[in-house]
Amino acid sequence: MIVITGPTASGKSALAVEVARRLDADVISADSRQIYRDIPIVTAAPTVEEMGGVRHHLVGMLPLDAYYSASEFERDALTVAESLFSEGRPAVVCGGSMMYVDALCHGIDDLPTVPAELRASLMEEWRERGDDWLRLRLLALDPVHYAKVDLCNMKRVFHAVEISVTAGAPYSSLITGERKKRPFDIIKVCLEGDRERLFSRINARVDNMMESGLEEEARRVYPLRHLNSLNTVGLKEMFAWFDGTFTKDEAVARMQKNTRVYAKKQLTWYKRDPGMTRLDFSDGTSANAAGIIGMVEDWKLRQKS
């Protein structure tokens, strides 16, 4: 399995397609928002042209109101990968959702399945009472996790609440952090480079999204803004504009800023993984693809020795 990750706008998708072409592989998306339909612009989902004839998995497969988690991604991505391996083909994983990449490479703790009725009830109560209510619910159920979790990431707050309620025990008590051994080898690559150049690419990407119809896409899903799938950078700022909190220019500027902040978080996360091979996105898709193919060839030689 070849995992290509890195911050937003570093060129992951194009690199994954190029590597997959050279290896006759498929691409498995590890993006927690691209898995949803109807929001391709804000999620920078690859177009048919950008896919370049390479089959992609776990892109645009769910309706906006569907629940999806890192553990479900682990299950689905492993199923796709095992199918490819059975055909003697490698899998190329591409995405910047840190928890998804970790879940696939290292596994995730086995947690109880949340009954659909309980999830629906909690979501309804959350919608009625708001984010502060959900945070206080987590504080009461699991003060240890409350002290550690990003309280602005409501998806993670909700997940901890629903697991705590289902298990009848604090979410933090169920997390072991133990890594699972995969029955296949993994080559992990992280694209990074000059931060100012990356930020310039992020700003340009946001401008391109606006030119490509982000406003129309956001207005189309605005009535569903309470859904967790739409709680993401890009749509939150558009919704604030529609609500009158921002002007259009302010919304675009805030979108650029928040995307840059997210990219910093991604880079910090990746630094903690010593198994990552770092490639400079400024070297270009072709050169970096050649570098990855070289890693694969080295792996093949090791298998023979």
Q: What is the structure's pLDDT at 175?
A: 86
For residue 31, how far is the Cα from the chain centroid?
A: 3
Q: What is the structure's pLDDT at 111?
A: 83
Name the 3-class secondary structure at 93.
strand
Tokens of 178: 């133990």
19, 2 contact by CB (below 8 A):
yes
71-75, 173-177, 257-261: lowest mean pLDDT where?
Answer: 173-177
Map tokens 């090791």 to a residue. 302
Q: What is the structure's pLDDT at 153?
A: 87
Q: What is the structure's pLDDT at 179?
A: 85
Higher pLDDT pick, 283 / 270: 283
Please give the mean pLDDT across all residues of the chain: 94
For residue 166, how far is the Cα from the chain centroid?
A: 25
> Does 1.10.20 match the CATH number of domain 116-174?
yes
Q: What is the structure's pLDDT at 113?
A: 84
Tokens of 52: 């370049």
Mean pLDDT of 247-253: 98
Q: What is the structure's pLDDT at 228?
A: 85
CA distance 133 to 35: 28
Q: What is the structure's pLDDT at 82?
A: 96
CA distance 100 to 180: 14
Mean pLDDT of 45-66: 96
94, 30 contact by CB (below 8 A):
yes
pLDDT at 109 over 90: no
Q: What is the structure's pLDDT at 294?
A: 97
Q: What is the structure's pLDDT at 186?
A: 96
Neighbours of 18 (CB within 10 A): 22
Name the 3-class secondary structure at 27.
strand
Task: Show me where the domains of the chain are located.
Answer: 2-109+185-304, 116-174
CA distance 127 to 227: 9
Q: What is the side-by-side strand order in the sheet with 56-57?
A: 56-57, 26-29, 91-94, 2-5, 187-192, 276-280
Compute the 3-state secondary structure of the chain and give helix, strand, coil in percent, each to the nearest 5.
60, 10, 35
Fold category of 2-109+185-304 in CATH: Rossmann fold (3.40.50)
Report the half-sphere exposure of 243 (CA within 13 A, side-chain side). Answer: 11
Neighbours of 300 (CB within 10 A): 10
Q: How many helices (H) and strands (E) does the chain have?
A: 14, 6
Q: What is the structure's pLDDT at 155?
A: 84
161, 191 contact by CB (below 8 A):
no
Q: What is the pLDDT of residues 126-151, one digit of tens each?
A: 999 999 999 999 999 999 999 999 99
Q: What is the structure's pLDDT at 176?
A: 82
pLDDT at 67 over 90: no
pTM recorded for the entire structure = 0.85
